[in-house]
Amino acid sequence: MGEQVLAAVRTGPGRTELREFPMPEVPDDGALLKVEVAGICGTDVKMYAKPPFADPVIMGHENVGVIARAGRTFAERQDVREGDRVFVEHYVGCMRCEWCRIGEYRHCELTDWRTNPDARRYGYTTSDNPYHLWGGFAQYLYLPWNAVLHKVPAGVSAELAGIATPQSNGIEWALFSAGVGYDSAVLIQGPGQQGLSQTVACKQAGASLIIVTGTSRDAARLELAKRLGADAVIDVQTEDPRDRVRELTGGKGVDIVLDCTSGAGTAPVLLGIDALKRREGTLLIQGELAAFPDFPVKQVTEKSITIKSARGHSFRACELAVKQLASGRFPLQELATHRFGLSDVDRAIRAVGGEVGEDVVHVSLLPWED
């Protein structure tokens, strides 16, 4: 028997098994990544509890590691060598369509598991596919010719680089989608890793007022939000967030609202609509709810609100995120609060879901540890 690779495989709702896979033969235009860190986010919590399909999946879509083996053509085209530390985007685009050509792989049909059953996307593609290693909760990850890599600068640890995904979302959603910039007043709802990454992006972009909301159990995260640049924080359970936003903005309301909550129902969107300024504010929303009963469409149109959707990150956002991590300008290492080994994937995902441990912000899965 040849070399084997250990992986944590999702075999059903809330079920994980450790399995071994044969070490793939690396083709000339492919490579193997030795996974150092796989970040876990709220999406994993949802996909673990309610898998979108029954096939076995090695989850883990926020992956950092070292190039262990690279075919000659892969190394040449990707400009990498064995030993290089890289952050791997989870999108594996076709590289031919218009979206891919402009660096927006996230919109490519070939990486969209929702509409394409044969899509390739790390953490979502079944391990039944050739090469098997399509997720970061494994010792190795297979890299085809069209994997998108970002080199991690020297001095940035694997664990810190593991924050590249939430940080790139922060840059994408707050700056590129919602247009936060110089002198913006922003309300960020939810102080999890995503809300905190948005805080940093807004601060660096020059926002003059950053307000972050949370609940009473978020006390430590709200303190961290202040260290990362929030001007004010609101505990929505002990204070009236509408009154506080009005007070903090001199009665005007904020320019932009970013919803980074999870499992909070319609409340964050309704608060966002109320908190926005009288005209032309922007609201960035998540797609958690399938439908929105009694959506206040009249208020939205009267306030001339623009609604934007939170949807992943572009190549440019990832590059900027990696640069920001390397700059050391913000204490982003404070986000990396918890680490788990490969045999603890189940606990690690539950920790992100708030079921295990306290004050969890960002969880790192280290596949070479037990």
Binding site for Zn ion (CB under 5 A): 41, 43, 93-94, 97, 100, 108
φ, ψ (nearest 5 deg) of residue 24: -65, 150
In angstroms, what is the minimal distance from the CB of 97 to Zn ion?
A: 3
Would you say 108 or 271 has its CB closer to Zn ion? 108
In angstroms, what is the minimal distance from the CB of 92 to Zn ion?
A: 10
What are the distances in angstroms from CA 235 to CA 87, 94, 222?
Answer: 35, 44, 8
Would you say 282 or 286 has its CB closer to Zn ion? 286
In angstroms, what is the minimal distance from the CB of 61 to Zn ion?
A: 6
Would you say 67 or 108 has its CB closer to Zn ion? 108
| Coil vs helix vs strand at 341 | strand
CA angle 264, 349, 126 (to 5 degrees): 110
Would you say 15 or 101 has its CB closer to Zn ion? 101
Plot region of 114 (φ>0 → left; ψ -120 to 50 → alpha; else → beta): alpha
In angstroms, what is the minimal distance from the CB of 248 to Zn ion?
A: 30
φ, ψ (nearest 5 deg) of residue 296: -80, 70
Would you say 159 or 255 has its CB closer to Zn ion? 159
Would you say 50 or 81 has its CB closer to Zn ion? 50
In angstroms, what is the minimal distance from the CB of 42 to Zn ion?
A: 7
In angstroms, what is the minimal distance from the CB of 43 to Zn ion?
A: 5
In angstroms, what is the minimal distance from the CB of 54 to Zn ion?
A: 22
What is the per-residue DSSP string for 228-284?
TT-SEEEETTTS-HHHHHHHHTTTS-BSEEEE--SS-TTHHHHHHHHHB-SSS-EEE
Q: For the sheet containing 209-214, what is the strand order?
A: 232-235, 209-214, 185-189, 256-259, 282-285, 306-309
Identity of the amino acid at 140: Y
d(CA 20, CA 4): 6
Would you say 176 or 295 has its CB closer to Zn ion? 176
Q: Could you give the residue ranges of the DSSP H alpha helices within the chain?
A: 42-49, 72-78, 98-101, 158-161, 164-170, 193-205, 219-227, 241-248, 267-275, 297-302, 315-327, 345-352
Bridge-based pairing of strands 62-70 and 232-235 is: unpaired
